[in-house]
Amino acid sequence: MDVLSSLMDGFATALTPMNLLYALIGVILGTAVGVLPGIGPAMTVALLLPVATVLEPTSAFIMFAGIYYGGMFGGSTTSILLNTPGESSSVITAIEGNLMAKAGKAAQALATAAIGSFVAGAIGTSLLVVFAPIVVQFAVSLGAPSYFAIMVLALLAVTAVLGSSKLRGFASLGLGLAIGLVGLDFVSGQARLTFGLPLLSDGLDVVVIAVAIFAVGEALWVAAHLRRTPLQIIPVGRPWMGKEDWKRSWKPWLRGTAFGFPFGALPAGGAEIPTFLSYVTEKRLSKHPEEFGKGAIEGVAGPEAANNAAAAGTLTPMLALGLPTNATAAVMLAAFTQFGIQPGPLLFQNEGPLVWALIASLFIGNFLLLLVNLPLAPVWAKLLQLPRPYLYAGILFFATLGAYSVNLQAFDLMLLLVLGALGFMMRRYGLPVLPLILGVILGPRLEKQLRQALQLSAGDVSGLWSEPIAVVVYVIVALVLLWPLAARLWRARRPRTGGLVVADGPAVDGPAGPAAAPSVEAPAVEGRPVDGSAAEAPADRGPDAGRHRADAHANHGQEKS
């Protein structure tokens, strides 16, 4: 088997002591940022981009992979112990997980989350090994028009399907595409959006943009409402599971994995939808439906498995097509470009050893995460006592250092501030960050494929749908855009068949519904700590605390930076 021997070579590379060390650094950093709400793997990878350029590309990506998986593991700890999701993909886990913890079963909740994440991560990565080469085989036959169509689909789907407001999503995408346009036109050499500044003619450095939007924007946002009533954390010992817990967990783990991987692999994937679907399914299939709403272990096991499987799924289009579908994958794609590696279907051919080492390191990182997370969960929870001014001062320091070190020019610091302010304003007005970063990273490549397709057809627009796959993809694009509208009309006209529509609904209707649903459901959880304290806080604190909570919920809809 060719794939198997490549994978074994990958293991050989990933298991060298130096690379193992980077994998360990990655998973520890990843868990830490996963535990802390507001800091996510995308921000961490962005901050490490400048540092990583001095490393071997393989080592750098092994570290990034650890951060990526680690973020998914760590998010569950905060969800369960604090009822504040550390990651947007852990929002669902918080519902049952925190109730379990309140009922004195925090150890079991943490254990099923960690072991479920491990199981799903292992299965998901295996599926990645199987499917990525197949997708590559299919993708190398694609011409520029099909490629262009697939990218359009990815951008539209991420923008229109995820998040609560389509308008805000498209506004953010527009900003990203505009930022991506800055610089010289690569065909004609004409300057675009440079405002006569020669320093802009090289375009904006992706590192500076990512660091500004994720790190500076988030730091300013946190600084803007730094003070809030401290939450209560549920004390916990070492996670463990009884025989009964295992019996009730293994099926949800597998079902969660089955939901997570395909959704992650789709261009509009994300981890929020499969976690929600998994939760609903477990609720329906559970033998203990009365426990849902009081802390059912199935409601933790399923969604946690789903979000890790989705993380693995996301890597399939990222590695096989060069198509990122979440913020972390987008920043990792930027890292490829930093190293002068061309992402796309030829990645497996040209950079085979690197890619397989990366995949092998996913297996290793997954195992390391289990070792790091299970015995040390109480230690990770201590991170939450860190005063945030120190944390964010450190982040700003590294952001500035990193942005300056890329090109060693002070102009980049100005850009960092301007774009950081943009990132802050986007958070202030609820614009999702993900479409922007995808626009910046995919925009130039999208344009390249468009220009190429038009050159092939000698400027004839019909060249864009000259390939059958392109036509199919455009039909899907149309469906994605028109479906919500059509569904609404359908329901308005035939209200009596509503049950039928709902029954077959989740397959297509799912993406639009659940994205909003978790944020509706979450506040309904009884005794949310923030709720209680907002009511008790002195009058001058009250409205502010309330607003913060609303903001927090608004943010859950989008990928966390």
| List of residues contacting other proteins (CB under 8 A) | 36-37, 82, 84, 226-233, 381, 384-389, 529, 532-533, 536-538, 541
| Minimum CB distance to other proteins, residue 382 (Å) | 9
| Minimum CB distance to other proteins, residue 226 (Å) | 6
| Minimum CB distance to other proteins, residue 389 (Å) | 6
For other proteins, the closer of residues 472 and 535 by Cβ is 535
What is the residue type of 364?
Answer: I
Six token digits for residue 43: 């921000």
| Minimum CB distance to other proteins, residue 36 (Å) | 8
For other proteins, the closer of residues 289 and 389 by Cβ is 389
Burial class of residue 246, CB neighbours in 10 A (0-12, 13-18, 19+) = middle
* Distance (Å, whole) CA 423 – CA 418: 9
For other proteins, the closer of residues 456 and 537 by Cβ is 537
| Minimum CB distance to other proteins, residue 542 (Å) | 11
| Minimum CB distance to other proteins, residue 553 (Å) | 16
For other proteins, the closer of residues 196 and 387 by Cβ is 387
For other proteins, the closer of residues 91 and 480 by Cβ is 91
| Minimum CB distance to other proteins, residue 426 (Å) | 23
Question: Checking phi first, is residue 293 left (phi over 0); if not, alpha (psi -120 to 50) or beta?
Answer: left
Q: Please tell me whether residue 68 adopts helix, strand or coil conformation.
A: helix
For other proteins, the closer of residues 51 and 231 by Cβ is 231
Contacts for 479-482: CB closer than 8 Å, 24+ residues apart? 479/508, 480/153, 480/156, 480/157, 480/160, 480/161, 480/268, 481/156, 481/160
| Minimum CB distance to other proteins, residue 529 (Å) | 8
8 Å CB contact between 128 and 316 = yes
For other proteins, the closer of residues 471 and 537 by Cβ is 537
8 Å CB contact between 317 and 323 = yes
312-341 per-residue burial string, b: 16 or more CB within 10 A, e: under 16: bbbbbbbbbbbbbbbbbbbbbbbbbbbbeb
* Distance (Å, whole) CA 453 – CA 137: 21
Backbone angles phi, psi at 64, to 5 degrees: -60, -40
For other proteins, the closer of residues 460 and 536 by Cβ is 536
Six token digits for residue 128: 């990645």
**CB within 8 A of 530, min separation 6: which ones?**
84, 228, 229, 231, 545, 548, 549, 552
| Minimum CB distance to other proteins, residue 233 (Å) | 5
Six token digits for residue 491: 């329901």
For other proteins, the closer of residues 509 and 544 by Cβ is 544
* Distance (Å, whole) CA 336 – CA 374: 32
Closest CA to 83 of 554, 530, 519, 387: 530
* Distance (Å, whole) CA 201 – CA 510: 43
| Minimum CB distance to other proteins, residue 513 (Å) | 31
For other proteins, the closer of residues 509 and 531 by Cβ is 531
Question: Checking phi first, is residue 194 left (phi over 0); if not, alpha (psi -120 to 50) or beta?
Answer: alpha
For other proteins, the closer of residues 153 and 545 by Cβ is 545
For other proteins, the closer of residues 9 and 551 by Cβ is 551
For other proteins, the closer of residues 229 and 405 by Cβ is 229
* Distance (Å, whole) CA 152 – CA 215: 27
| Minimum CB distance to other proteins, residue 44 (Å) | 18
| Minimum CB distance to other proteins, residue 545 (Å) | 9
* Distance (Å, whole) CA 231 – CA 139: 49
8 Å CB contact between 366 and 118 = yes
For other proteins, the closer of residues 283 and 541 by Cβ is 541
* Distance (Å, whole) CA 443 – CA 182: 11
DSSP codes joined into one string, 495-538:
GGGHHHHHHHTHHHHTTHHHHHHHHHHGGGSTT-HHHHHHHHS-
| Minimum CB distance to other proteins, residue 466 (Å) | 55
Six token digits for residue 241: 């599971």
| Minimum CB distance to other proteins, residue 8 (Å) | 43
290-303 per-residue burial string, b: 16 or more CB within 10 A, e: under 16: ebbeebbbbbbbbb
